[in-house]
Amino acid sequence: MEAAVGYVSGDADSLLMATELRLGLPGTDDQKPKTTFSPPATPRGKKRTADAFEDSAAAEEAHKEADDVEAAPPVAKAQVVGWPPVRSYRKSCFQAAAATKSKANKKAEDATSSNKTTPSAAAPAATSANGGSFVKVSMDGAPYLRKIDMRMYKGYRELREALEAMFVCFSGADTAASNPSEYAITYEDKDGDLMLVGDVPFDMFSGTCKKLRIIKRSEATGLGSK
Amino acid sequence: MGRAGGPAAPPWHSLPDEVWEHAFSFLPADADRGAAACACHGWLRAERRSRRRLVVPNCYATDPRDAVDRFPSVRAAEVKGKPHFADFGLLPPSWGAYAAPWVAAAADGWPLLEELSFKRMFVTDECLEMIASSFRNFQVLRLNSCEGFTTAGLAAITEGCRNLKELDLQENYIDDCSSHWLSNFPECYTSLEALNFSCLHGEVNFTVLERLVSRCRNLKTLKLNNAIPLDNVASLLRKAPQIIELGTGKFSADYHPDLFAKVEAAFAGCTSLRRLSGTWDAVPDYLPAFYCVCEGLTSLNLSYATVQGPELIKFISRCKNLLQLWVMDLIEDHGLSVVASSCSKLQELRVFPSDPFGHNGGQVFLTERGLVDVSASCPKLESVLYFCSRMTNEALVMIAKNRPNFTCFRLALLEPRSPDYITRQPLDAGFSAIVESCKGLRRLSMSGLLTDLVFKSIGAHADRLEMLSLAFAGDSDLGLNDILSGCKSLKKLEIRDCPFGDKALLANAAKLETMRSLWMNSCSLTVGGCRLLALKMPHLTVEIINDPGETCPVESLPFDSPVEKLYVYRTLAGPRSDTPDCVQIV
């Protein structure tokens, strides 16, 4: 094919470049350190990757940052949307299972018995594995909580809209229209810490979020940059 | 047969259609039937009128009404919607793939329809209600990776389809409306042969389920959800010892000798059990309860079982007749070497990552060793999906030499652009060895550090390759050009994060019409290039996909505006009219 011939003759130089033996990624001049994966000094999780991301506006933007991160010696591991190629369905199933396992392991270490998980560990673990994607949502001042299925939402905006719709009846009986910016959405992660929603890619957040809490903004100062 | 014309035999073309229809019924593959239909008008007529099974791999490739008109006698139809990368969250949720037009067209033109399968499509409760009321002999409904419906829709199916034999719900996102879909099966209903509700999250009425299982003596496949406790699973098995395929659902409980004995006895009665899956959170204590069925198992799916250690390995090593094994990387290299020596008949292996995003400390369980061992000792192995954290060219070359009979080879290295971890070289040599050795390779997914060189090999050698998946690979348009100008059998190409631009696409535009579809995201495409492609190839639909909320009209963008996501597919139907705002067809 003419087009194919045109390619070969025109880009022979770049082809040669590609065969050149070198250490490091194509396109970088740095020497990459020996190990492909370096066991992280601190446990990997959303907190570390939150450091790696200045803004998590779009996952694609974050992924472009990942290119830069990987060229340098790997310190913070950047998360890329849809990689590794694990089906969203599978992700939601075993995220819960992994949480169960680590909870069960912790309990097993605490207790003196060698192999069985105690019933009290099994029960909350079972609930989280059972409806792995359902999380409780509480709102300050609301008389009861709600539950949502995290898998229903593909991004922060959808989640916010759903929560606003759910809790509109509770936000201020005296204001005609509720003011969403009065409230901040926070969540409890698997370590039990209260985090501001929105810092990390949505996929990561939905996997580690155990509980949602809608709190008044005045209480949220000190939690996030916004 | 020769009457009015004398003793000469009638010419071929005057044989009645029924003869040709009968002849065509012996052609197993749709592709062969399609080829026969191209021979002449007579064959076209005979073939299309007698086609019983229709597969539409891209729901937008044709208008549903045209498909129904062309093949009026279809009894079983399968329609697939979203592109494969939708599984990994790369497609906006409102993209499309609506089942409604297909159900409506089928209801109109195929009143005798018996089977309907949808994969990666948006199916509503109204669709399910229409299915339940439109086909008097409806028998099989399979929904795989679909969404948009609730248990209320299922209730319509179970109530309305009196001859239902199979209800297979695999990995769908179903809203639980607490509707009593299971109770809607009439008491006199006994024809159920396969039931899979593993993806449902809600409780089901166990008494109803037990009665259903008891009275359906032909039940062969039962896949439960993880709301059913172990005790109840054992009870069900006692009612259905004839079962061939079982999905256990949740398989963990505190160890109790009575419960263990009950489970063990229940499995002992299932002498026909061949396929086992489910086993979420399987606890090692109960694995020995399976021992009695191990020898008969041909398929084992432990990919949701976070169990590891010697119990797991002991269990698998007893399954000497396994053809198909899906497992988590918790099995470790050692476990796979035991599999290699125990499961000599193995044909398909899939190893899934237990911690793909490094949330639990990034512990490494599995390396290239496991795959090398299995490929060396399992002579029938032809299909592999393998997630691991490191690979070497040497290992890949060895694997290629051991197993030239691979038809499907998918390797996913967890870290993008991982080189050979010993030599630090790209994995070009390894993957080239795979395509050169495995002449029957139909599906390939590559990962790791790869340059344009590997694409030269693929383009030149992968003659039977039908589906290729690339990520974070290549250096320039040369790579994509080599693929598109070679790979004679290529049908589906999906690419993410590769430095491929418009040039290779435009130079090989004609090739795209011989393929089913092309997906590219996060490459170096421009709006102008896509527009040119669309102009050049009127039978292709060229979709530019943005994030939801970004709806800047393509016409107003400059020529060199980057395109984040591109989906191109051939179609007889022209541009579709159900695109959301974030999708623009150029």
As a whole number, mean pLDDT of residues B97-112 equals 97
Q: How does B240-279 read in b/e, with b if 16+ C-beta sit within 10 Å?
A: beebbbbbbbbbbbeeeeebbebbbebbebbeebbbbbbb
Across the interface, do B390 and A134 touch by the CB < 8 Å criterion? no
Q: Which residues contact B435 (CB under 8 A, 6 or more apart)?
A: B441, B444, B457, B458, B461, B462, B465
Q: What is the pLDDT of residues B483-531, one digit of tens each?
A: 999 999 999 999 999 999 999 999 999 999 999 999 999 999 999 999 9
Q: Is the pLDDT of residue B50 over 70?
A: yes
- In sequence order, the β-bridge partners of residue B245 are B221, B275
Considering only CA atoms, which of B325, B371, B326 is closest in space to residue B346?
B325
Mean pLDDT of B250-256: 79
- Produce one character per residue of B559-576: b if its CB has 16 or more CB atoms within 10 Å, e if not: eebebbbbbbbbbebeeb
Q: Does B111 touch chain A (CB under 8 A)?
A: no
Query: What is the structure's pLDDT at B193?
Result: 97
- Residue B285 distance to chain A (closest CA, Å): 9
Confidence of residue A221 (pLDDT cuts 50, 70, 90): low
pLDDT at residue A38, as a whole number: 34
**pLDDT attached to residue A112:** 43
Single-letter amino acid, residue B225: N
pLDDT in tens, B341-396: 999 999 999 999 988 887 777 677 899 999 999 999 999 999 999 999 999 999 99
Mean pLDDT of B182-189: 92
pLDDT tier for residue B306 given thresholds of 50, 70 and 90: confident
DSSP state of B280: B
ipTM of this predicted complex?
0.86
* Mean pLDDT estimate for chain A: 60
Given a cut of 60, is residue A74 above it in pLDDT? Answer: no
pLDDT tens, position by position, B29-40: 888 888 888 888
- For residue A184, what pLDDT is reported? 83
Question: Is the pLDDT at A45 greater than 80, yes or no?
Answer: no
Q: Is the pLDDT of residue B168 over 80?
A: yes
What pLDDT is recorded for position A214? 87
Interface check for A10 against chain B (CB to CB < 8 A): the answer is no
Q: Average pLDDT for residues A160-182, to the nearest whole number?
A: 63
State how beta strands B173-175 and B221-223 pair.
Answer: unpaired
A41 touches chain B (CB under 8 A): no
Per mean pLDDT, which range of A25-39, A93-107, B413-427, B461-475 is the poorest? Answer: A25-39
Dihedral angle, C-alpha B207, B208, B210, B214, nearest 10 °:
130
pLDDT in tens, B237-246: 999 999 999 9
- Mean pLDDT rounded to a whole number for chain B: 92
- Distance between CA atoms of residues A80 and A83, nearest Å: 6
Task: Give the residue from A13, A79, A83, A107 with the most B CB atoms within 10 Å of its CB, the best one to mutate.
Answer: A83
The Cα A102–Cα A43 span in angstroms is: 13
How far apart (Å, rounded) are the C-alpha atoms in residues B436 and A6?
26
Contact B281 A90 (CB under 8 A): no
More confident residue, B70 or A21: B70
- B550 vs chain A: nearest CA distance in angstroms? 11
Q: Which residue has the tokens 């008891």?
A: B214
- Assess whether pLDDT exceeds 70 at residue A28: no
Distance CA B500, CA B387 (A): 25
Residues of chain B neighbouring A23 (CB-CB closer than 8 A): 424
Cα atoms found within 13 Å of the Cα of residue B203, Cβ hemisphere only: 6
Task: Judge: A1–B485 Cβ closer than 8 Å, yes or no.
Answer: yes
Helices B477-485 + B452-461 axis angle, to 10? 0
Q: Do B87 and A88 touch (CB under 8 A)?
A: yes
Give the model's confidence band at A105: pLDDT under 50 very low, under 70 low, under 90 confident, else very high: low
- Chain A nearest-CA distance from B579, in A, is 18
Which pLDDT tens digit goes with each residue over A196-215? 888 888 888 888 888 888 88
Q: Cβ A18–B452 below 8 Å, yes or no? A: yes
Mean pLDDT of B249-267: 87
> What is the mean predicted confidence (pLDDT) over A164-186?
64
Q: What is the pLDDT of residues B391-433, one digit of tens each?
A: 999 999 999 999 999 999 999 999 999 999 999 999 999 999 9
pLDDT-based confidence at residue A126 (cuts at 50, 70, 90): very low
Average pLDDT of span B96-100: 97
When scoring B281, B413, B496, B519 by the number of chain A Cβ atoms within 10 A, the one with the most, hence best to mutate, is: B281
A79 touches chain B (CB under 8 A): yes
**Shortest distance, CA A174 to any CA of chain B (angstroms):** 32
CB-based contact A60 B564, cutoff 8 Å: yes
Over 90: is that where the pLDDT of B296 sits?
yes
Can you tell me the mean pLDDT for B165-173? Answer: 95
Contacts of B92 in chain A (CB under 8 A): 154
- The per-residue pLDDT for B395 is 97
Rounded to a whole number, what is the distance in Å from the CA of A19 to chain B's nearest CA? 8
Rounded to 10°, the helix B368-377/B393-402 angle is: 20
Task: Establish if B424 touches chain A: CB-CB under 8 angstroms.
Answer: yes
What residues 226-245 of chain B have any CB closer than 8 A to a CB of chain A?
226-227
The DSSP result for B518-578, as a single string, is: EEEEEEEEEHHHHHHHHHH-TTEEEEEE--TT----GGGS-TT-EEEEEEEEE-SS-S-S-
Most confident of A78-87, B197-206, B298-307, B491-500: B491-500
Residue of A nearest to B506 (CA): A3
- Out of A11, A18, A91, closest to residue B451 by CB: A18
DSSP string, A50-115: HHH-S--S-HHHHHHHHHHHHHSPP-SPPP-TT-S---HHHHHHHHHHHHHHHHHHHHHHHSS-SS
What confidence score (pLDDT) does residue A104 get? 53
pLDDT band at A37 (very low <50, low <70, confident <90, very high): very low
Q: What is the pLDDT of residue A106?
A: 56
Which pLDDT score is estimated for A175?
A: 44
**Looking at beta carbons, which residues of chain A come within 8 Å of B149?**
none
* Pairwise CA distance, residues B117 & B53, whole Å: 11
Q: Report CA torsion sign: B197, B203, B206, B212.
A: negative
Tell me if B481 and A3 make a contact (CB, 8 A cut-off).
yes
Q: Is the confidence at residue B462, as pLDDT, over 90?
A: yes
For B305, B507, B525, the CA distances from B326, given in Å and listed in that order, are 10, 41, 37
B310 or B495, which is more confident?
Answer: B495
pLDDT of residue A29: 46
CB contact under 8 A, B88 and A77: no
